[in-house]
Structure 1
Amino acid sequence: MEQIKETSGKSQVVERTCLILRELGRHGPRGARLIDLTQRSRLSRPTVHRILATLCAENFVQRTEDRRYRLSSVMYELGLNAPSPVGDPERLRPLIQGLADRCGDTVYLAMRTGDFSHYLLRCEGAYPIRTHVVSANQTLHLVSGHSGRALLAAMPEDEAEDIITRASRDRSLFGEASPDSFREEVENLRERGYGWARDVTFIGVAGLTVPVPNPRGAAYLAVTISSIPQRLTQERAQSLLKDLHATAQGVSNLIEINTAI
């Protein structure tokens, strides 16, 4: 009986440590205050502090000068050896191509990598005028594309603001937008759950984008329909939203199935 209690206690410590690590991941590079972690985890302050002290001693977590806690570079090194959550993007092509076939336009699947979005897939519809401004396997800054807007809106506000602030040092990254107007777009997307814009990232291009739901935290994938502004009007964008959301959910479901295997 004594050994069962001990094993249960050790398991509880591991579960609580994993909970703290997940919360730190949600807060991004800026980090989280002790009170943030206490409130979010619903653990006692001494418990959270004890776990953080151990994680710092093992170099999995850093304490910043402003007394915040964040994941250390050791976690990044570990992540390099972890498999991609997407796996082979070709498994997702039928979903993305299906949406492109139905709407007739170009559809992208992009994944966040730090301050950037990496375009995993580009699928073409039958409409003869196409917007080939981004290629598959191309990487753009998050502030430089429609998909990036969805990914920024899906993350904690302070983390998104840090990324936008850093990007503001090079105004050319924002295309036709300004940092302030870009912030407004991201906030609108955060409230509505989707983003639609035209002639802001590239002149002559309109985009409709949504994040792919992630049941474990912030979205790291986005699905975007791209076309010319005359075709992808705001009214037509509304009519495409249901199918776009359904495709994003389908991508999420397929990733979850393959993650569980």
Structure 2
Amino acid sequence: MTEQPLQGKRALVTGASSGLGLAMAEALAEAGATVILTARSAEKLDTVVASLAQRRLDAHALVMDVRDEQSIATAVDEVRRRWGGLDLLVNNAGIGMRTVNPDFLTDPQPFYKVSAAGFRDLIDTNLTGYFLVTKAFMALFLEQGKGKIVNITMNHATMRRQGFVPYGPSRAGAESLSLIMAEDLREANVDVNMLLPGGATETGMIPEEHKEAIKAQFGLLSPAVMADSIVFLASDASDGLTGERIVASEFDEWLRQREL
């Protein structure tokens, strides 16, 4: 029988209908957790949750827009009603550079050519969304007197790369937000950590027409690279670990160094 270190744990993953979010949700469910997958599209969610359920994984769909406070509040109420609380919140929902410049990989544009609307839309999703979702779900964690939060981020190179406004600033902001959250919650028994893949990853943020060229030149990580690290961060083994920035592709070495 497969070991299930997360039996009895309840996890919610935002942006979980594809990419990194789906890979993490799948890994958590395979480890025995009850997993709530959220996204804006009910159709996409229902499809992936049905696939997970066919494998007898304890997965559930919950439509939520991380930019909409009422949508988030409704989701919090639903989680409290159906599952009685939450052990892990994974902030992953985000949109990429292609929303402001579809050719960002081959024709990067300077920040001053980014539309104000495009800037706001991406920041509202990738940064303000992390804030709004965590702020709302804190009610459950404070009631329970414990909880875990994992905020998904990206390589620091992405935060400095030419033509990467507003995506780079959104991830830099999320890292600062995470570090401050960790300090604010240090006495509340709520752990806050950051997790990133460690390289370009095969997700919808990379335009399909460029994937093969990027694979050939740099390689592309599978979203499954997040599996071992997210299961660890959800488990009792990570209790008390907070304010860490973990690179998934280097997780085994990080864990080995920590255990020395």
TM bucket normalised to smaller: under 0.3
Query: TM (normalized to structure 1)?
Result: 0.28
Using CA pairs below 8 Å that are at least 6 residues apart, which structure has the higher relative contact order? Answer: 2
Q: Between Structure 1 and Structure 2, whose CA radius of gyration is higher?
A: 1
